[in-house]
Structure 1
Amino acid sequence: MGYAESLGSYWRGRYKLAPGKYATVRDADGDAIRFRTKAVAKKAADAEEAKLLAGTKKAPRERITFGAYVNRWYAAQDLAASIMQNYRRNIDEHLLPAFEDSAVADILSTDIAAREKHERAVPYAASSVKAWRATLHLIRPAAVAEPTRLKVLEAVSDLGYIRNAASGELAAHWRRSGFATWLFRPAATGRCPGRGSQEERPVPVVAEPWPGIPARGRGASKQAEVCWVPIAPGLTPHGLRHTHKTLMGEVGTPPKLMDERMGHEDGSVPSRYDHITPGMRQALMTALTGMWEEASDARRTMSLGSPVAALDALLKAR
């Protein structure tokens, strides 16, 4: 029989593949489904197990375990002996005891937080916990990020993104970055965050080409002619999800369609009888397109072009 596993704010369904082996209920894209209630998660798990027993469902391809992957990852590193020793100690003493038999893609932030809580209670020194978390931070993206990396590169190609490169070159930016801190926040608030002893300060802007670009490098503030006016103080990239759902509600989008777009799963009984129709999708697309065109027109009244290539092309197409 399947069972429901609590992961804090949601439940996931788990069903038996073989003695000692369990799989997670996933959607068509292979992502674990987040159920809102225990009963719905268990029911979905039971249904998957029944399909498996009836022969109408093939057992999912076995996913690589953390234990199998981490040894390959370690062998591929070529670093100073002291660093390699530290990695090995963190892996053997802290990571393998907790995650050795877990599929890499199934290790969630809640699992990591639970391990940290356990080790602090032992107690391990805070520096030890910080060290193994840093090592895990290096290992996990390398194991699970390849499909996402390919999507990023495709988007880079579509947008013609250029980063510190000569005109016409594409420059992928694949690593954890300070996008929210150093790009999004200054654009939204008009202020650069502090660093070290340096306090928060206005974004220095060179007026040409209009409507201005941030001055960078040493002496940027001396080059600046103006600074950005705050657009939305306190706004974050995640805050845009709140904005998107609010706008969908404003145009009367059905809850079922809103949940789908937000990646949410409503396990309530009323939701089970709701269905999304092509007409609903078309109505939402029309409404969002109208908002986008209205915003583009408002931006175009400020300036007919932009130093940002993607935005410049959109403005010129209006």
Structure 2
Amino acid sequence: MGFAEKRGDYWRARYKLSSGKYGTVQDEDGATVRFRTRRAAEQAADAEEVKVREGRRRPAVNASMLFIDYVNRWYAEQDLAASTMQTYRRHIEAHILPEFGHLTMAELERDGRAAIVEWERAGRADYATLTVQGWRRVFHVILADAVREGLLPFNPASRPRGRGRVAGRSQARAPEKTITNALGVVLIAERMALLSGRDDEFVATVGMGFSGMRFGETVGLEAEFVRPGAIRVEWQLHELDDGVLLRCPPKDDSYRTIAVPSWLTALLREQIDRAGPKPCSCHGRTYVYRGHRPPRQGARQVGPRLTDVGRRAGVSAGTVWNALHRRDQVADATLQRVDAAVAELGYLVGSLPDGPTAPHWRRNGFATWLFGPAVSGWYPAKAPSPARPVPVLAEPWPGVPIRGRNAANRADACWVPVARDLTPHGLRHTYKTLMLGLDTPRPLMDLHMGHAKKTVSDAYDHVTADMVARLLEGLTVLWQNALAARRAMHPRSPVAVLDRLLGEESPA
């Protein structure tokens, strides 16, 4: 028996198809008919069911409708998270419509299942299996809605359960996630600061490695949420395809307060005091971190910067500027060191000064050109240049990256990998392993990671102050041991914040 379904300010008529599923009464163009009253919708639904029982009605109301027309209408009706809408659009426009957009619904009903199997098989030749499975999942969602609307009698993209080779499923597994340890976090953070020429990246990388924050949560960390002994995760910045950084809730609404050691809170407060952040123009919020390059469309400095020369000469950037422009105010010995650093690094006197930085990191800039080279010791390929080692000067240790022309020939060292294939998200996995090594109770680990409770039993798990204290004590010991191991490699660092930490005596 048909029935009426309330949809906001109208009713739609639902009736049972021969397949046992329910369809919706539609007009000649395939659009859902909106009834003003419940009674009218029920009458229309009953009339359609009579047609189905008498065999006078095909499941597809408009078999001549093009799939591309249906998809355009379907996508416009979705109201999902911006990141999900972006993923759907990317899969639809790049992979689904080019292959199936010209087909009618009747053709999809007749030939769709075989065509989808062949499409998926061809996709695996050029893409990872998990990637192709993502396309098919989106396709399945679209066609499932078409079935519910009565445009198709079944879903051609569905995959019957229990079919296929069980032994072959392992071939679709994701690669094993690369992790590092506490010392690896320190070494990577130091290299990132050397690549960017400032301390911001050191603090951010250490923060992710010892708090488990996601990259988007780190970029979106607002100064007001850095609290004594804790970081409050309220927002993240998610980068869309058009470059817009969307301020949105953390993934899966994982709002949480992460207890952090006092030394990490001190690093964050020092970062805020040093950077003096101001509200950004895009969100009007004050963030802990800012981008490391000039804003898009802005002037970009080419080659080494004053900070790079200062590190090489062992002086501040201000002293370098005075040595270049007010030589009478600088000691002769300092002038000689600065001049030697300028020659070695290829610094161009009179080049563009350090201008305003972008308000936020971009994922590509952070992961590809800072994090990737720091963990692997290699710059990625970018036409016309192939992948290449990061050219560095061996002194001061662990080596200062060289920029500018003929950098490779001027270098006298390169970096060995710290944790090849590690990604920024891998620091989140690293933090979880650190907690496991410290025998942290599962409720506290789930709280810090932002993982939701899944069972009734989980509702009875609670975090206590003693659990938190033991975790913070353990993380502090790991941090002190990592600094001691780094100090054993070399007692100093070109990175100012790490150099100060290495000079401090660790408590007994």
**What TM-score does the superposition give when structure 2 sets the normalisation length?**
0.36
Based on CA coordinates, which of the two structures has the bigger radius of gyration? 2
Per-residue CA distance 1:125-155 (angstroms, 9 max, x = gap): xxxxxxxxxxx62264267697996777433
SS at match of 1:286: helix
* 1:137 aligned residue (241, 255, 259): 241
Gapped runs of 5+ residues in structure 2? 1-6, 10-70, 103-239, 250-279, 295-300, 307-316, 319-353
Amino acid of the structure 1 residue aligned with 2:241: H
Distance in 1 between residues matched to 2:285 and 2:440, nearest whole Å: 28
Cα–Cα, structure 1 residues 198 and 152, in superposed 2: closer, same or farther, change >3 Å? farther
Q: Residue 299 of structure 1: CA displacement? A: 0.8
SS at match of 2:475: helix
Cα–Cα, structure 1 residues 99 and 148, in superposed 2: closer, same or farther, change >3 Å? farther
* 1:305 aligned residue (492, 495, 507): 492
Give yes or no for contact 1:251–1:287 (8 Å, CA) kept in 2: yes
Task: Give the structure 2 partner of residue 180 of structure 1.
Answer: 367
Structure 1 window deviating more from structure 2 (214-223 vs 165-174): it is 165-174
Distance in 1 between residues matched to 2:479 and 2:87, nearest whole Å: 37
The answer as to 2:459 corresponding to 1:272 is: yes
Task: Give the structure 1 partner of residue 421 of structure 2.
Answer: 234
Q: Larger relative contact order (C-alpha < 8 A, sep ≥ 6)?
A: 2
Distance in 1 between residues matched to 2:286 and 2:91, nearest whole Å: 31
Amino acid of the structure 2 residue aligned with 1:222: N
Gapped runs of 5+ residues in structure 1? 1-17, 21-93, 125-135
* 1:207 aligned residue (394, 399, 404): 394
- Percent identical pairs in the alignment equals 40
Structure 1 window deviating more from structure 2 (111-120 vs 282-291): it is 111-120
Cα–Cα, structure 1 residues 19 and 316, in superposed 2: closer, same or farther, change >3 Å? farther
SS at match of 1:155: coil
SS at match of 1:226: coil
Distance in 2 between residues matched to 1:249 and 1:153, nearest whole Å: 31
Task: Give the structure 2 partner of residue 317 of structure 1.
Answer: 504
The answer as to 2:438 corresponding to 1:251 is: yes
The number of residue pairs the alignment matches comes to 217
Task: Give the structure 1 partner of residue 75 of structure 2.
Answer: 98
Task: Give the structure 2 partner of residue 220 of structure 1.
Answer: 407
Q: Residue 120 of structure 1: CA displacement? A: 4.2
Q: Residue 213 of structure 1: CA displacement? A: 0.8
Q: Residue 275 of structure 1: CA displacement? A: 0.8
Distance in 2 between residues matched to 1:295 and 1:315, nearest whole Å: 10
Give yes or no for contact 1:149–1:174 (8 Å, CA) kept in 2: no
Per-residue CA distance 1:87-140 (angstroms, 9 max, x = gap): xxxxxxx9997358747757555544565465445538xxxxxxxxxxx62264
* 1:154 aligned residue (288, 293, 297): 288
Distance in 2 between residues matched to 1:148 and 1:278, nearest whole Å: 39
Per-residue CA distance 1:237-293 (angstroms, 9 max, x = gap): 111111111111111111121112112113222211111111111111111111011
Give yes or no for contact 2:376–2:421 (8 Å, CA) kept in 1: yes
Distance in 1 between residues matched to 2:386 and 2:87, nearest whole Å: 34
Per-residue CA distance 1:149-192 (angstroms, 9 max, x = gap): 677743359xxx89867547884552524222222222212222
* 1:295 aligned residue (482, 489, 497): 482
Structure 1 window deviating more from structure 2 (163-172 vs 220-229): it is 163-172
Distance in 1 between residues matched to 2:361 and 2:77, nearest whole Å: 25
Amino acid of the structure 1 residue aligned with 2:430: T
CA RMSD of aligned residues (A): 4.0
Task: Give the structure 2 partner of residue 282 of structure 1.
Answer: 469
Distance in 2 between residues matched to 1:96 and 1:139, nearest whole Å: 26
Distance in 1 between residues matched to 2:406 and 2:383, nearest whole Å: 18
Give yes or no for contact 2:392–2:402 (8 Å, CA) kept in 1: yes
Task: Give the structure 2 partner of residue 58 of structure 1.
Answer: none
Structure 1 window deviating more from structure 2 (186-195 vs 101-110): it is 101-110
Amino acid of the structure 2 residue aligned with 1:174: H
SS at match of 1:266: coil
**What TM-score does the superposition give when structure 1 sets the normalisation length?**
0.55
The answer as to 2:323 corresponding to 1:189 is: no
Per-residue CA distance 1:190-242 (angstroms, 9 max, x = gap): 22222225332222111233331111121110110111122222222111111
Per-residue CA distance 1:5-62 (angstroms, 9 max, x = gap): xxxxxxxxxxxxx947xxxxxxxxxxxxxxxxxxxxxxxxxxxxxxxxxxxxxxxxxx
